[in-house]
Amino acid sequence: MIRVLIAEDMHMIRGALVALLTLEDDMEVVAELERGDEVVATALRVRPDVAVLDIDMPGLDGLTAAEHLYDELPGCRTLVLTGLSQPGNLLRALKVHVQGFIVKDAPARDLTDGIRRIARGERVIDPDLVAAALETGSSPLTARETEVLRVAATGVPVTQIATELSLSQATVRNYLSNAISKVGARNRIDAIRISRDAGWL
């Protein structure tokens, strides 16, 4: 039996995934979660073979959860579910040892086959995502610019970003200005939108 952990914040989708995998003779859903920050602790408790993670979850996004999961439980393989709108996430996923990357509107058979292949040690990546990621390219932002933009995306002012990241306000403004310029945005809000759409945040 392939032991599967599912983390998806939308109740209906999570329920559908559980129902789908329950129909498979060789799979057992050992945990279902709605928050990304519950993934590692739960996985350490139930020891899944494969973790199926949504990319957008409260508490912790799926890619960060996958990274922590690999550090804490490297034997658990990870499959991320995503939308085609964020191809840049694929490059980030590969860096954090994600073995599978499938779009949410793929046929159900793609998910069950993907879980089996990942459990066998193979890598499963949607070819349309690969093409889109190659077209979009990797993020032009430095790690610090990305961090500043990510905090800015919460809507807090420069003073609070500076406090949270232990930076001066002038440094925060410089990072924001650089990010805006690098992604070809008109302003901070536009830079956040562009970066999110590309999967760089």
Helix/strand number for the chain, H first, E second: 10, 6
Q: Name the least confident of 47-61, 63-77, 186-200.
A: 186-200
- Mean pLDDT over 99-124 rounds to 92
- Predicted confidence at residue 84, as pLDDT, reads 57
- Predicted confidence at residue 50, as pLDDT, reads 98
Residue whose token pair is 């070819």: 127
pLDDT in tens, 24-51: 999 999 999 999 999 999 999 999 999 9
Tell me how far apart the alpha carbons of residues 108 and 105 are, in angstroms, rounded to a whole number: 8
DSSP code, position 57: -
Structure tokens at 105: 């509107």
DSSP code, position 54: E
Q: What is this structure's pTM? A: 0.69
Among 37, 118, 49, 125, smallest CA distance to 81 is for 125
- Mean pLDDT over 144-169 rounds to 93
| pLDDT over 80 (residue 173) | yes
- Mean pLDDT over 92-119 rounds to 89
DSSP code, position 183: T
Beta bridge partners of 103: 82
Residue whose token pair is 């998910």: 111
- Predicted confidence at residue 110, as pLDDT, reads 92
Half-sphere exposure of 73 (CA within 13 A, CB side): 20
Tell me how far apart the alpha carbons of residues 185 and 165 are, in angstroms, rounded to a whole number: 23
**Cβ–Cβ < 8 Å for 8, 54:** yes
CB atoms within 10 A of CB 36: 24
Structure tokens at 66: 């996958």
Given CA atoms 24, 29, 34, 39 in this order, what sign does their dihedral have? negative
Confidence tier at 135 by pLDDT (50, 70, 90): low
**Cβ–Cβ < 8 Å for 50, 3:** yes
Tell me how far apart the alpha carbons of residues 56 and 8 are, in angstroms, rounded to a whole number: 8
Structure tokens at 50: 């494969």
Q: Which amino acid is at 174?
A: N
Confidence tier at 137 by pLDDT (50, 70, 90): low
- Mean pLDDT over 170-199 rounds to 89
Confidence tier at 88 by pLDDT (50, 70, 90): low
Q: What is the longest distance spanned by two Cα atoms in the chain?
A: 59
